[in-house]
Structure formats: C-alpha cells, structure tokens
Structure 1
Amino acid sequence: MKINNLVDLHCHILPAIDDGSPSLEVSLELARQAVADGIRYILATPHHMDRHYINHASDVESAVNAFQMELDGQNIPLTIFPGQEVHLNGQLMEHVDDLLGIDTGKNYLLLELPHEMIPSYLDEIIFKLSCEGITPVIAHPERNAQIIADPKRLYELVEQGALAQVTATSLVGTFGKQVQQTAKEFIKCGLVQVVASDAHALKNRGFSMSQAYQVLNEMGSEYPERFAINARNLLNGKKLIEINISVPKKQRNFWLF
C-alpha cells in the first residue's frame, strides 16, 4: 500500500451540489488537502434522494468532468470519478436507472441509511438490489444509532450480502469514543471492508485517511493492505478479499460524567 496512492470512495468534494462544498474555490482547497493526505483517486459521492438533495447521474457526471478540468488546470494530481451517496427510501428501486454505482458497471452501490434507525424494508431492498446484480455498500454503519445499540444488525445485513464502509474520522476518534470503538469492533469482525473519508468542507469533517490507515496498522498489520486493495476492487467492480465474519460485541455506553 502506497500512502500517496489512496482511493477514497466516499467524498463530498464537488462544488455547490450538496452540503459538501459551497464553491469551486473550496472544492479546490479540499482537493489539495486530499492530495496532502495521501489520496490519489476520489469517488465523488454527492447526496442523492435524501430529504434535501437530488443529484441525477448525468448531472454528477457533468460536474465531475468540469471539476476534473479545473484540477488538471491547477496541476492538482487527483483523479475524480462520478458516484452518489444514495439515501435509502422505499422508492429506490423505481430509480435504479438514475443511480451511479461505485464502479461503472454498478456492481456496487454506496447506500446511506437514516442516522437514527434502520427502516424495516432494508432487507427487501438488499434482496431486490441483488436481483439486479447490485451489492449495496452501507455507508458509515458505526454512526447509525440503531446499529450502535444493536451491532448484530450489521452482521445480519452482511450475512444477506451487503458490504459496509467505515469512516476515517470515526476510526481516529473524531466522532467520540463510542463510535470509534464500534468502528474498530466492526473491523475486527470483518463487517466493514473499506475505509473512506466522507469528507465535507465542515469542521471535523476532513479526510484523515492516512491517520485512519495508521490506526488500521495498529489494529493488525494485515488490515491496511486489505482495505487498500478492497477500495481499488470496489472502484473497478471486482470481488473483494473474502474473510470470515463474526457477531460483534455491543460497546458499553460512554458517559461524560
């Protein structure tokens, strides 16, 4: 794994398209920060089909092309690919043609759950996506309140065929001790297969990818290379490294007083 060659599969870097970056100037600064953090390839994943944003596939592709031209003009060594962070909703299957996969073949789809809970129809959506040849990659499960309270739920989703992505800032402790410990437990249990930044131009929402890979290395020397290979394989629509999964332990509550 080369630290200056990292792949980031979840990033809100495109200008004025969601809550990630308000302007081209800010997006270019994010790009410089990404390169400084060892990132070479970014899947741009603006929010799609949530309560606030609709970013159609063709619009994201146009935005990526325009932003790549700006990056090239500024000699920023970063390659951007078009994607979406697709918010789970009951009408998702009606809009499959307008969804961008993590890879161009749409073998993998970055899927965001509501932060507070897991809708009862998620299992059905996972099944229907699988019938279309699409594997959902659940974004930041370690930050979902219901999954934190009942980590076995993520195990059940992975058993059904889903994958999951842990956020770099979760792993390094930016979201607090409980989220960090949940993230580490999911890695140990084989329930998350890739780390990504979920970077926004907001306080405490930076990249932290190189730092996250350091945490992975501290957890076990096999993790950094596995996660780096998985990120590339997802982007290329290839199969991931197969490992055994196990049921995670629930983290105890962390109290401030």
Structure 2
Amino acid sequence: MKINNLVDLHCHILPAIDDGSPSLEASLELARQAVADGIRYILATPHHMDRHYLNHAGDVAAAVKVFQAELDANDIPLTIFSGQEVHLNGQLLENIDDLLGIDASRHYLLLELPHEMVPSYLDEMIFQLSCEGITPVIAHPERNAQIIAEPQRLYKLAEDGVLAQVTATSLVGAFGEQVQRTAKEFVKCGLVQVVASDAHTLRNRGFAMTKAYEVLNEMNSKYPERFATNARNLLNGDKIKARRIEVPRKQRKHWLS
C-alpha cells in the first residue's frame, strides 16, 4: 500500500451542501487533513433523500467541479469524485436517474439505513436495485442500533450479495467500545469489504484512515491490501473478490432496550 494513495469512498467534504462542512475554508482544511492521513482520492458523498437534505446528481457534480478547482488552486494533491450517501426510502427506483453511484456506471450505490433500525422493506429494495444492475454498499452498519443487537441481519444481507462499508473511526474506537467491537467482528466475518472515513468537520468525525488500516493490519496482515484494493475496484466499478462470510456473534443488548 503506497503512502498518500488511499481511496476514501465516503466523505462529507463539499462545502455548505450538508452537515459535513459549513464553508469552503472548512472544506479545504478537511482536504489538507485527508492528504496528511494518506488519502489521494475522495468520493464526495453528501446526504441525499434523507430527512434533511436533497443533493441532486447535477448539483453534486457541479459542486465537485468547483471544489476541485479550489483544491488545484491551493496545491492540495487530492482528486474528488461525485457521489451521494443515499438514504434508504421507498422512492429510490422512481428517482434512479438522480442517484450517483460509487462508480460512474452506478454498479455500486452507497446506501444509508436509518440509525435506529432496519426497515422491513429493505429486502424488496435490494431486489429492485439488483434488477437495475445495482449492488448496494451499506454505509456504517456497525453504527446501526438494530444491526449491533442483531448482527446476523448483516450476514443475511451479505448472503444476498449486499456489500458494506465500515467507518475508520469505528475501527479505532471513536464511537465507543461496542461499535468498535461490532466493526471488528464484521471485518473478521467478511461482512464489510471496505473502510472509509465518513469525515465531517464535527468533533471526533475526522479521517483516521491510516489508524484504521493499522487496526486492520493488527487483525490480519492481509486485510490492508484487500481493503485498499476493494476501494479502488468499487470506485472503478470493477468486481471485488468474494471471500467466505461467517455468521457474527450475537450481542447481548436488544436494540429496543
């Protein structure tokens, strides 16, 4: 793995477009932090179709173009691509032309679940997306309350071909021990295939990608290269190597308690 060559597929770096960054100055500072953390390529993924934000595909592409020009003008060696963190809802297929994939051909879609639970219609939505040739990549499942309590739910999704992205700060413990334990369990069981920052300007929401890769290396020396390759392949719309998945251990705390 080369220094300053990491790919970050989930980052709220664009200025004044969602809760990620309030201004251009803040976004440029995030960019400098990303470079310092070994990142070379970022998929900008503003929230889309959640309760607070609508970031249409054309608007995101325009914002990325403007921000890339600012990065170049400030000699910040970072390349930005257009994406979205698409919130799960029943209208995804009706708005499919307004969805940006992880890759330009939309083979992969970064899909966010509600933080509290897994909606009952998720399986049907996954099937509908698959009929369109789209593989969902679930964002930060280790931070979903119901999946923490019932981790076998992610296993069942993985059986259906769904991929998932673990957050770097989850792996290093910034969200607490339970989230960190869940994140590591999902890595070990092959239920997450890529690590990304989900960086905001908010406190404790930085990049931590280098530290996360160190955690992966401590778990298994093969993990860092595997996860780095998966990130590049997802961005390029290429297939990633499937590996055997295992059923994760159950957690004690029920998600409704």
Cα offsets for 1:100-141 (capped at 9, x unmatched): 000000000000000000000000000000000000000000
Q: Relative to structure 2, which stretch is displaced further, 73-82 or 153-162?
A: 153-162
Contact 2:47 2:55 in 1 (8 A): yes
Shift of 1:3: 3.0
Aligned to 1:101: 101
Shift of 1:251: 3.5
Q: C-alpha root-mean-square deviation of aligned residues, in Å? A: 0.6
Aligned to 1:68: 68
SS at 1:4 equivalent: coil
Code of the aligned partner of 2:134: I
- Matched residues, percent identical? 80
Contact 2:37 2:209 in 1 (8 A): yes
Q: Which runs of 5+ in 1 are unaligned?
A: none
* Aligned-partner Cα distance in 2 for 1:165–1:250: 20
Question: Which 4+ runs in 1 deviate beyond 4 A?
Answer: none
Where do residues 20-59 of structure 1 align in structure 2 (5 Å cutoff)? 20-59=20-59
Aligned to 1:211: 211
Aligned to 2:145: 145
SS at 1:3 equivalent: coil
Shift of 1:215: 0.1
- Normalising by structure 2, report the TM-score: 0.98
Contact 2:47 2:53 in 1 (8 A): yes
Contact 2:150 2:251 in 1 (8 A): no
Aligned to 1:126: 126
Contact 2:149 2:252 in 1 (8 A): no
Shift of 1:190: 0.3
Aligned to 1:19: 19
* Aligned-partner Cα distance in 2 for 1:250–1:174: 22
* Aligned-partner Cα distance in 2 for 1:149–1:3: 37
* Aligned-partner Cα distance in 2 for 1:54–1:204: 25
Code of the aligned partner of 1:133: G
Shift of 1:27: 0.1
Aligned to 1:163: 163
* Aligned-partner Cα distance in 2 for 1:13–1:162: 26
Code of the aligned partner of 2:27: S
Task: State how many pairs are aligned.
Answer: 253
- Normalising by structure 1, report the TM-score: 0.98
